[in-house]
């Protein structure tokens, strides 16, 4: 069955969007963003060109410095989207003769970027570090002395909400001299005391070659950035085609990215989200539903249903009860792994979460 664009229904209780902190709907973000534009005396509606021609307006420099400081890294390079960032990085950084090891459930944008590049590629079993280490050890003996190995994972996987053991993965990469790349799209704003993501929370910033952070999830805006060394930023500026050959983000997008980070830092939304995650997990256990859910410490919780029609029917019944919970179907997930993807937010109430789980318990019996 072909996909169709759904109509948005704001009357439903949101358990499906990636707006984990409610920043996409927070009027303070647009108000602060407008003040930033006013202070910059920036009235342009568009960037007017690619960043290497006329589009590199002053807000880029300030936003990238803010992001580098916020994420404890040497530099940040803003891209138009997370898809563009992953496409640009993996199509240009790994070279012919290099190898990229990627988790079998890695995001499509990373797969596409790797496919556009010249490096060899090998997938490893999902979050299976023994399998990863075996593959690295086997492949390393075949490589030329100057070849590089890249290992890429997500700190929170976008469909199931689970996470790898990043501490152990970083240790493996250090032992075998691999470059670790972590996509933090669904971790920023969710994990860590201040929502900086899993890598800073674990204190392994120096062990990671590059991080991809996006602004279309918890930050509630648009765009993305690649975090890393100054050399990496310079390289991507010159060789990442998805960066070079596209019009830059308009000034108001950069202003809103700054404003959203300010709002996140000055509110308790991250704490409230983490409290909701803890409450939801405890209610799953109390209601005896633990065996149906994939274990997750994130805002994403997946109830496996194992059948397309069962998942679609469950989503439709929840909609009738005014809950917006979407079915995730093949080929987004492997055939037979269909289920309901439940996204928690800082603005969801305990009563809403309880009522949802009661309905889910009835649907799964």
Whether the per-residue pLDDT at 44 is higher than 90: the answer is no
Residues 6+ away with beta carbon under 8 Å from 43: 37
Q: What is the CATH number of the domain that holds 327?
A: 3.90.1150.10
Query: Is 118 domain-assigned?
Result: yes
Confidence band, pLDDT 50/70/90 cuts, at residue 365: low
Domain match, 64 and 192 both: yes
Per the structure block, which two tokens stand in for 358?
């009661």
- Sorting pLDDT into bands at 50, 70 and 90, what band is 336? confident
What percent of the chain shows pLDDT beyond 90? 85
- Average pLDDT of the residues in 46-57: 94
Q: Exposed, middle or buried, 106 (CB in 10 Å: 0-12/13-18/19+)?
A: buried
- Cα distances from 188 to residues 211, 225, 245, in angstroms, run 11, 12, 27
Contact 309, 335 (CB under 8 A): no
Angle at 318 between CA 312 and CA 322, to 5 degrees: 135
Q: pLDDT band at 202, cuts 50/70/90?
A: very high
pLDDT of residue 120: 97
Looking at the chain, how many residues does it have? Answer: 365
Q: Are residues 146 and 288 in the same domain?
A: no
Residue 322, number of CB atoms within 10 A of its CB: 12
Cβ-contact 2, 229 below 8 angstroms: no
* Amino acid 316: pLDDT: 94
The string over 29-53, giving b where at least 16 C-beta atoms fall within 10 Å of a residue's C-beta and e elsewhere, is: beebbeebbeeeebeeeebeeebee
Last residue of a domain, one of 265, 295, 330: 265
Q: According to the model, what pLDDT value does residue 307 have?
A: 80
Name which residue leads in pLDDT, 90 or 142.
90
Q: Which residues contact 242 (CB under 8 A, 6 or more apart)?
A: 79, 80, 84, 85, 87, 88, 91
Tokens representing 292 are 């149906």
Give a yes or no: residue 251 inside a domain.
yes
Question: What is the rounded average pLDDT of the residues 195-218?
Answer: 97
Reported confidence tier of residue 363, pLDDT bands at 50, 70, 90:
confident
Q: Are 279 and 155 in a shared domain?
A: no
Q: Is residue 7 part of a domain?
A: no
Are 55 and 49 in contact, with CB atoms under 8 Å apart? yes
Average pLDDT over residues 188-216: 96
Specify whether 213 is located in the same domain as 81.
yes
Residues 211-259: pLDDT tens digits? 999 999 999 999 999 999 999 999 999 999 999 999 999 999 999 999 9
The mean pLDDT of the chain is 94
Domain boundary among 205, 230, 265: 265
Please check whether residues 120 and 33 belong to one and the same domain: yes
CATH number for the domain spanning 154: value is 3.40.640.10
User: Which residues are paired to 341 by β-bridges?
Assistant: 302, 326
Q: What pLDDT, on a 0 to 100 scale, did the predictor assign at position 19?
A: 98
pLDDT over 80 at 94, yes or no:
yes
225, part of any domain: yes
pTM above 0.85, yes or no: yes
Per-residue pLDDT tens over the stretch 351-361: 999 999 999 99
Task: Provide the residue range defining the domain that includes 113.
Answer: 28-265
Cβ 59 vs Cβ 214: under 8 Å: no
Question: Where do the DSSP E strands lie in 53-173?
Answer: 75-79, 99-103, 120-124, 149-154
pLDDT of residue 7: 81
Going by C-beta distance under 8 Å and a sequence separation of 6 or more, which residues neighbour residue 35?
A: none
Number of domains in the chain: 2
List, for residues 147-177, the tens digit of each pLDDT value.
Answer: 999 999 999 999 999 999 999 999 999 999 9
The burial class, CB within 10 Å (0-12 / 13-18 / 19+), for 306 is exposed
339 in the same domain as 304: yes
Asked if 120 contacts 98 with a C-beta cutoff of 8 angstroms, the reply is yes
């Amino acid at each position: 069955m072909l996909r169709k664009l759904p109509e948005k229904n704001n009357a439903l209780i949101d358990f499906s969007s990636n707006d984990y902190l409610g920043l996409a709907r927070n009027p303070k973000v647009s108000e602060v963003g407008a003040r930033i534009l006013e202070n910059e005396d920036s009235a342009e509606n568009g960037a007017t060109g690619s960043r290497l021609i006329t589009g590199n307006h002053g807000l880029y420099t300030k936003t990238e410095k803010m992001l580098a400081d916020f994420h404890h890294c040497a530099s940040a390079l803003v891209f138009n989207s997370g898809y563009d960032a992953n496409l640009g990085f993996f199509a240009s950084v790994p070279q012919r003769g290099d190898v990229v090891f990627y988790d079998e459930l890695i995001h499509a944008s990373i797969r596409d970027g790797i496919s556009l590049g010249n490096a060899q590629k090998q997938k490893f079993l999902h979050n299976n570090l023994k399998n990863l280490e075996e593959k690295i050890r086997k492949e390393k003996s075949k490589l030329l002395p100057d070849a590089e190995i890249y290992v890429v994972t997500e700190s929170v996987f976008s469909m199931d909400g689970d996470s790898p053991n990043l501490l152990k993965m970083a240790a493996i990469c250090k032992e075998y001299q691999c470059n670790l790349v972590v996509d933090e799209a669904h971790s920023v704003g969710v994990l860590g005391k201040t929502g900086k993501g899993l890598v800073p929370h674990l204190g392994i910033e120096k062990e990671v070659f590059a991080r991809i952070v996006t602004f279309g999830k918890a930050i509630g805006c648009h765009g993305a950035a690649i975090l890393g060394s100054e050399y990496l930023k310079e390289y991507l500026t010159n060789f990442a085609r998805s960066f070079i050959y596209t019009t830059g983000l308009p000034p108001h997008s950069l202003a809103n990215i700054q404003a959203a980070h300010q709002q996140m830092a000055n509110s308790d939304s991250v704490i409230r989200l983490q409290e909701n995650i803890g409450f939801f997990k405890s209610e799953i256990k109390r209601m005896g539903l633990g065996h149906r859910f994939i274990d997750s410490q994130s805002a994403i919780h997946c109830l496996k249903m194992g059948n397309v029609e069962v998942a679609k029917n469950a989503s439709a019944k929840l909609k009738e009860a005014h809950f917006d919970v979407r079915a995730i179907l093949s080929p987004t997930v492997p055939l037979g792994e269909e289920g309901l993807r439940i996204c928690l937010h800082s603005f969801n109430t305990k009563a809403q979460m309880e009522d949802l789980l009661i309905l889910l318990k009835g649907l799964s019996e």
